[in-house]
Structure 1
Amino acid sequence: MISKQSISLIIADDHPLLLKGLFEEFKANNYTILGTAVNGMEALEQILTHKPRVALLDIDMPLLTGFEVIKTAKEKGSKTKFIVLSFHKESEYVAQAKALSINGYLLKEDSFSEIEDCIIAVLNGDEYFSKSFDAFSLQNASEELRKLKQLTPSEITILKLIARQITTGEIAETLNVSARTVEKHRSNIIAKLHIDNSSNSLISWALTNKNIVLDL
């Protein structure tokens, strides 16, 4: 069994009362708190400096979002287990968390005992999503991510450029290919993602799911 004192934590939230409450709850339960942060940049610096076993991060923070902190920390080789703690239940947030391979996703309405369950689960190498999520939401997010992973590297590159509102002609010029080749890739993307093949449907989809696409 993992002892609580051996679990080192960084906690980040831009709401002072929530941050204070979490800090005091963890302290009272004998966890080792290496630091707290009120914005994403501070959280990233502390994670890279102190190398906690677990970081609990709010998603909506100044300077860097929780997702941006996690992505950057992983790119820099961080071995920390990441848990996001948020008010957001929307499927696009769940899908983005899955795209980033985030270890845990909790809601701020969850009990402290569920936070502890999540910490133990992720330290044991498991993925943990709040019990408040219904099975359909998780399955739907996983299915969307599965479709995206069917795309080729070229298709992903083009989809990212579409999400940045780059035109077909500009994409062709950027990638040094013909506009016809770009259109062929667009057709393949639409088919693989099961998007309605109507005018601007792919652009609309890419903009709606921009954060997920850019994290691929």
Structure 2
Amino acid sequence: MPESKVVRIVIADDHPLLLQGLKDLLLQRGGIEILGAVSDGAAALKLILDNPPDIALLDIEMPYLSGLSIADECRKKQLETKFILLSYHKEPAFIAQAKSLNIAGYLLKEDTSTEIFKCIDEVMKGNSYYSLSILSTTHTTDSKKTVNLDLLSSSEKKILKLVASQCSSQMIAERLHISARTVEKHRSNIINKLNLAGQSNSLSLWAVEQKAVIMAL
């Protein structure tokens, strides 16, 4: 990172101690300006939109809006801010969703203290950086293959969210005022589009396991 370049950063994490610790860590480096440090997604989005930073360093799961949702909203508004997500999740679905949103950096929280500055440097160069300890999760066996949720239609995403909330096909049919047969057809399409056929667990179990990333759609 060039010494003359002051990197303007917004931080958001709903854990006060982690938020303060991250802020203190970044300020130790120098060449970094913290534009704001907030504890929920709605406040983070407002801060980013009001004064777009170079980098938004966001917890992936926060009240009101997730880090993924914030990144998606800012992408739609064509902001030049680059996003680094902090997460405890190594699951391929989270990684795939982050990549589908062109997230520049994805750090596991346990790797933050050792990799944060390398991540910032790479992101500011225009590169992407994902925690070294999760690289292997992008080359897993079929039982943990990555998926691209953007392949789904709006109707399929709506149904997948209900599946993740443990609603049966009949419950989904009643809630959406469609037939159970239509729900089953959508479920079949979801399995095919996400290439989940042949996995040891059902769509229902998979969706529950990946609920956090699904609900951020």
Question: How does the TM-score come out when normalised to structure 1?
Answer: 0.73
Structure 1 position 144 matched with structure 2 position 181: no
Q: Equivalent residues in 2 for 1:141-180 (5 A)? A: 143-145=145-147, 159=160, 162-163=163-164, 165=167, 167=169
Partners in 1 of 2:13 and 2:156 — Cα distance?
Answer: 36
> Is the 1:96–1:215 Cα contact (8 Å) retained in structure 2?
no
User: How many angstroms does 1:162 deviate by?
Assistant: 4.9
Gaps of 5+ in 2: none
The number of equivalent residue pairs is 212
Structure 1 position 94 matched with structure 2 position 95: yes
> Is the 2:54–2:82 Cα contact (8 Å) retained in structure 1?
yes
The one-letter amino acid of 1:61's match is M
1:155 and 1:39, CA in 2 relative to 1: closer, same or farther beyond 3 A?
Answer: closer
Partners in 2 of 1:159 and 1:14 — Cα distance?
Answer: 27
Deviations 1:43-98 (A, max 9, x none): 11111111001011122333333223323333333321111123333444333323
1:174 and 1:7, CA in 2 relative to 1: closer, same or farther beyond 3 A?
Answer: same
How much is the aligned-residue C-alpha RMSD, in angstroms? Answer: 3.6
Partners in 2 of 1:205 and 1:87 — Cα distance?
Answer: 18
- Percent of paired sites with the same residue: 44
Partners in 1 of 2:12 and 2:171 — Cα distance?
Answer: 43
> Is the 1:4–1:31 Cα contact (8 Å) retained in structure 2?
no
Please tell me whether Structure 1 or Structure 2 has the larger radius of gyration of its CA atoms.
1
Deviates more, 1:42-51 or 1:11-20: 11-20
Structure 1 position 22 matched with structure 2 position 22: yes
User: How many angstroms does 1:184 deviate by?
Assistant: 4.6
Partners in 2 of 1:24 and 1:100 — Cα distance?
Answer: 29
Q: Which residue of 2 aligns with 1:116?
A: 117
Question: How does the TM-score come out when normalised to structure 2?
Answer: 0.73
Gaps of 5+ in 1: none
1:45 and 1:77, CA in 2 relative to 1: closer, same or farther beyond 3 A?
Answer: same
> Is the 2:169–2:183 Cα contact (8 Å) retained in structure 1?
no
1:181 and 1:197, CA in 2 relative to 1: closer, same or farther beyond 3 A?
Answer: farther
> Is the 1:118–1:128 Cα contact (8 Å) retained in structure 2?
yes
Deviations 1:118-143 (A, max 9, x none): 112222332211112251x1234994
Deviations 1:28-49 (A, max 9, x none): 3231221111222211111111
> Is the 1:99–1:145 Cα contact (8 Å) retained in structure 2?
no
> Is the 2:95–2:146 Cα contact (8 Å) retained in structure 1?
no
User: How many angstroms does 1:157 deviate by?
Assistant: 6.4
Q: Which residue of 2 aligns with 1:70?
A: 71
